[in-house]
Chain A
Amino acid sequence: MGRRPLNICMVSDFFYPNMGGVESHLYNNSQCLIQRGHKVVIVTHAYGKRRGVRYLAGGLKVYYLPAFVVYSNASLPTFFCTFPIFRQIFIREQIDIVHGHQAFSAFCQEAILHARSMGLKTVFTDHSLLGFADASGILLNKLLKFTLSDVHHAICVSHTSKENTVLRAALDPQQVSVVPNAIIAEQFEPDPDARDPQWITIVVLSRLVYRKGIDLLVAAVPRICQMYPRVRFVIGGDGPKRIDLEQMRERYMLQDRVELLGSVQAVDVRSVLVRGDIFLNTSLTEAFCIAIVEAASCGLLVVSTKVGGVPEVLPRHMITFAIPEEDEIVEALRHAIGRVGDRPNHPELSPKRFHAQVKKMYSWYDVAERTEKVYYQIADMPELPLIERFRRYYGCGLVAGKLFCLVAAVDFLIGVVLQWLWPRENIEVARPFPQETYHALVKENRRTANGELGAL
């Protein structure tokens, strides 16, 4: 198998400046892939004034395309309208593999469709779980079935997520790989001096919304505060449920023991985490949960609801589970508070040890290596004839199958028209990023900076 470097295009609606798990996955995975010698381009929609082409560190090129954003940063699904611009990008950047992220992203679904019409290889990564009961779930699952019925490989962030995706999109499970998320462990080192030894501090860092189980938090906080006079809470994040937390704090007069920080910047996450002894996660659904890994890396004991992929993420000596029920959460917190006292006597529970273990478990280099494995697995697959693609779409459903075939056929024809309008040969190929010059410059800069510091 040829280990030639690949040109990869990551597509998702969700990228920086927006914050979240998908965004950090995209950025870090791309950086590591670039370090492994590949070329990576990210395509996302414009965020306010941030539009056009931008270069990030390491020569990571990001296209911020104009798009109409409908709901929580997802762009309006247009089916065919994005084809010309995606085609230009794919040809300009000489893309081999199109890698879409997150099912909610219309950009990702459309990019995969157009890439298939152009005969490119496609990979899809699912970052979240979705049920089967509600209307949005049913609709989105149908759409996902359409996109994924012709994708070469899918990646999920946890085994539970894989089961979910296989069921939702009726995929062959052998076509789905599990590649977890990771953290940059160096950015989450424990700091024993930051703790206040007078208190046992419980840290919560999450968006304050229903799906993160804030109702459970609101119920558990006053009970724990009543039981343990030495326990205090530090709650970071913002959202509609913040009012509930504030009301709870007023009602039980806990202003001095429950600290609400508001939204916390990514760079400040560690400084908040290291203040605590216990990290509490009350999510109601979670595919992977990077937050608990970050907390464990900072040396905190973790208490979490046992939902989705959470049981797969951390070993049992780092985490205490509870079902999403008020009494269970309180019980799990009591257990964890008891263990905080044990920690000095047990070297295997020391924060340093936690950090070292997490560092071994999760690394973006590992993620990139495993993603690359998927890429090479599909890179040399023979291209299927158009009729075989139609056969796959047709199998998606009685009515939907025919509709999907129609969409795919129209997309293919648009591709032919686009080839006639703007022939592939006339599209200018983007110049490769000068990695050597860039690294030499970076090294130079670092040396001069160090030199200046030395002179001072």
Chain B
Amino acid sequence: MPEQLLFAMEVTLNGLMAGVLYALVALGFVLIFKASGIFNYAQGVMALFAALTLVGIQQGQVPFSHLINAVFGTEIHHFPWHVPSIIAIILAAGVMVLFAYLVEKYILQHLIGQPDIILFMATIGLAYFMEGFGDIMWGSEIKTLDVGLPQGMNLAIDETTFNMFGYGFFIDNLDIVAAIVAALLVTSLVIFSQYTKQGRALRAVADDHSAALSVGISLRFIWVLVWSIAGFVALVAGIMWGAKSGVQFSLSLIALKALPVLMLGGFTSIPGAIVGGLIIGVGEQLFEFAIGPMIGGATQNWFAYVLALVFLIFRPQGLFGEKIIERV
């Protein structure tokens, strides 16, 4: 096989892996948008906050230590313990559920029946509040996240491909793990929403709030449920991205990467978020590989958005977005 083609294949594979990470972030948006029609601007910050909390718990950081030290003149920073990764993940998930509950109680509940744009504005406020709150709680320095996920080149793939084609593919172990985790997450979410009573209620709420109320579905419960799931998805995304590039405040910007994915896949479709993520991931890498050198490179910065724009023109509801049913 010619070297060029092999190289393109490798790029494609890496693109798929990167796409999985985009999809993970997009998934959180889709969940909340589906159930409440809110575009949750804070989704990226939720991923950051979840990752910060995870690292903080894992390393036994004292929350609000800067504040405490400033007020009382003490010098405490860490508890004398480290928490095992798995327990830290469970605790961080618990924190995200608590967060969901508080968001419902103090924000959403007071905005019932308001136009969507008001709710959107509220999530912008929430995003900046959480960014600052995360900063006060855990400090602003860059942290490394290590929950024991394998990192670095996958030797097995390198070896097999080298034996087959005489050219070893470079695939990051972390990306493989991310792909597996994402697949599991999506499968369980789809099963949950299609085959369980609460999942059905969730879809019912997504369709018609007042009808859902009339059959006795509690909107408050459903919202806490949805924000909890979105919080959990944010935690998973935060772990993957955090493990890849460290936990820092730029992590919240991954939300921007999710936008074109959403436009491509549709705001209301869980499979759409995945496929959209993969298309963006592969498209971005291949474009950079094939066309990039001709036009000076760095196409990754804008390719996804241009692709999304094209999609907006031809298929505004996205690839898998729910068709707006209108009887005539």
The judgment on whether A and B are partners is no
Footprint of A on B, CB under 8 Å?
none
